[in-house]
Amino acid sequence: MPEPGPLAAHLHDAIRLNRARRAGYRQRGGLRAEALSRALVGAERALLPLAHRIDREAARVGLDLSAALADMAEAPSAAAPVPDGPHDALEAHVLDSAARFAEVGADAERQSNGEAARLGRWLVRGHRLLVPFARALDRLAAPVHARGVGLFVNDLPPIPTAR
């Protein structure tokens, strides 16, 4: 099987990270934390076939997706303190990713004489479609956060900024 492209590799890394943290989240946050972790991993797994397709299309049009992807190794520790207040970690991460893909897509569109435009728009729209799901998970995680468990809050690395 060929090496996964950057988007699929990123999802694989996210799945590994979230699975590795699940037992600790359950221990500290209960069954709700485990169920939410499973929901996130399930969504990431469901997106894998699409990620492989996007990677192939990006390679075809010369769009470097790696410039828009965060390194999952830079995610904070699962035990990092949870800041006070409401948390919209997943929703904000999805919106920030959409903005970063828009930047990368615009650069690729200029470099490819417009050939990458459709894929760039598709990536941004796809992220925007994920916002309600991310918002719902964030809201369901509020009681877990209240217990000091950084589910989602500590699972997301910083989004790369424009270069």
Please write the tens of the pLDDT for every residue from 105-139: 788 777 777 778 888 888 889 999 999 999 999 99
Q: Give the least confident one: 9-13, 91-95, 132-136.
A: 91-95
Assess whether pLDDT exceeds 70 at residue 162.
no
Work out the average pLDDT over 23-37.
96
- Give the predicted TM-score (pTM) of the model: 0.91
User: Among 98, 92, 99, 90, which Cα is nearest to 44's?
Assistant: 90
CA atoms of 139 and 141, how far apart (whole Å)? 5
Would you place residue 83 in the very low, low, confident or very high pLDDT band (cuts 50, 70, 90)? Answer: confident
Q: Given its phi and psi angles, is residue 30 left (phi above 0), alpha (psi -120 to 50 degrees) or beta?
A: left
What torsion do the CA atoms of 33, 35, 37, 43 make, to the nearest 10 degrees? Answer: -150
User: What number of other Cβ atoms are within 10 A of residue 144's Cβ?
Assistant: 25
Assess whether pLDDT exceeds 80 at residue 5.
yes
**What mean pLDDT, rounded, does the chain reach?**
90
